[in-house]
Amino acid sequence: MMEFMAHDTKGPFKIQSFTGHYFYFDLFAFKKSRWLMVEFKRRKNEFYENLKNVLLEVDKFGYQVKHLQTDDDSLYRSRECKDILDEHKIFKRTSIAYHHYSNGWIERTVRTILDKARTIMLIYNCPLRFWKEAIDTAVYLYNLTPNKTLNWITPWEMIYDEKPDISHLVPFYAPGLVFIAKDDVNRLHPLSQRSYECRMLGYDKEAKNAYLVWVPALGTMKRAVNCKFQEGIDLSLPHNEDEKRDFSRFRMSVTDEEDERLRECISDNIDFF
């Protein structure tokens, strides 16, 4: 399931991530199972440490990587990379410079993850500083999604041999309330609030059905299970909803003449839309 692994890196991003202060991410994809793993980094050459972490995770699953597919970046031609691959008895296969089609599968997968992350951030107008959490969530959702190449089986089923539980899924950056733990309540005034407003920023990989939430009042992220989210957007009031959400960073830069021509085109074809 994990013998053939492909890798690609994306970055640097102009905005540093809120947690970890990252600028890049490494995406590792396994061709047979379509399983994805993502690791984040501050500098490009931290790829080697990320590669070691992924190989360790694969070993925990009981598999061994035998082939690594990459592009022709200097990262993969270094002595350090060769030593890691030799230690784990992994064959390396690289694409030819300026012939990206030979490494096209992983590059298309990176684009898919970026599209997913961009979409889930747009729904609740998530600030761009949370791009790391959006990428992490997009990979998590990808592994739970039926894949056409796998005859509509999820990557999760390929690895764990069981159907994934999706009952805990919540829209990314959805508003909600996180309840204060009992130990903390005992230290508060009897009339103090028992919960804080929060935003959903992902899923805790080390706990079942747990979330990572951003608590603006505390200025921090928390791991939480006892929280409630307001899911969905009231589509019956699209205009009011649009006024609350900032779409400007997703718009193309066009001249006034082009904008007016586009408006006329939409108006002429309003029935079609």
Q: Which of 45, 46, 47 is nearest to 7 (CA)?
A: 47
pLDDT for 114 equals 95
pLDDT for 72 equals 80
pLDDT for 55 equals 92
Name the packing angle between helices 104-123 and 131-143 (round to 10°).
120
DSSP 160-229: HSSPPP-TT---TT-EEEEEPPHHHHTTS-TTS-SEEEEEEEEE-TTSTT-EEEEETTTTEEEEESSEEE
pLDDT for 104 equals 77
Residues above pLDDT 70, as percent of the chain: 78
What sign results for the dihedral spanned by CA atoms 152, 158, 171, 128? negative
pLDDT digits (tens, 9 = 90+) for 86-145: 999 999 888 776 666 667 788 899 999 999 999 999 988 899 999 999 999 999 999 999
Residue 19 has pLDDT above 50, yes or no: yes
pTM: 0.80
Helix, strand, coil content of the chain in percent (nearest 5): 40, 20, 40
pLDDT for 11 equals 86
pLDDT for 259 equals 61
pLDDT for 30 equals 93
pLDDT digits (tens, 9 = 90+) for 207-247: 888 899 998 887 888 888 888 888 765 444 444 444 554 44
Residue 89 C-beta-side C-alpha neighbours within 13 Å: 3
Residue 23 has pLDDT above 90, yes or no: yes
pLDDT-based confidence at residue 186 (cuts at 50, 70, 90): low
pLDDT for 226 equals 84
pLDDT for 271 equals 52
Written as six digits, the tokens of 157 are 């089923």
Residue 252 has pLDDT above 90, yes or no: no
pLDDT for 253 equals 46
The three-point CA angle 239-243-249 to 5° equals 120
Residue 25 has pLDDT above 70, yes or no: yes
Say if residues 200 and 176 touch (Cβ distance below 8 Å).
yes
Q: What is the mean pLDDT of the chain?
A: 82
